[in-house]
Amino acid sequence: MSNILLMIGGLGPTELVIILVILLVLFGGSRLPSLAKGLGESIRTFKQGINEDVDETKDKSK
């Protein structure tokens, strides 16, 4: 399963390490956890909005 995740978008382990190093240089180690938390919350909110929209669409079609 982890091999599949690494292959998504053609990104291999080397490219992911390079991206992580660049992020560390740009934002520093202390800011990365807060950035990851904010990204996670944004994705969660986006998914909730999509689910609410799907629920409203189903209700209207009844």
pLDDT in tens, 5-61: 555 567 788 888 898 899 889 888 888 888 889 989 999 999 998 888 776 776 666
Q: Quick one: pLDDT at residue 1?
A: 46
pLDDT in tens, 23-35: 889 888 888 888 8
3-state secondary structure of 3: helix
Enter the tokens of residue 3: 């091999």
| pTM of structure | 0.53
Q: Quick one: pLDDT at residue 45?
A: 93
Q: Quick one: pLDDT at residue 4?
A: 55
Enter the tokens of residue 35: 């950035």
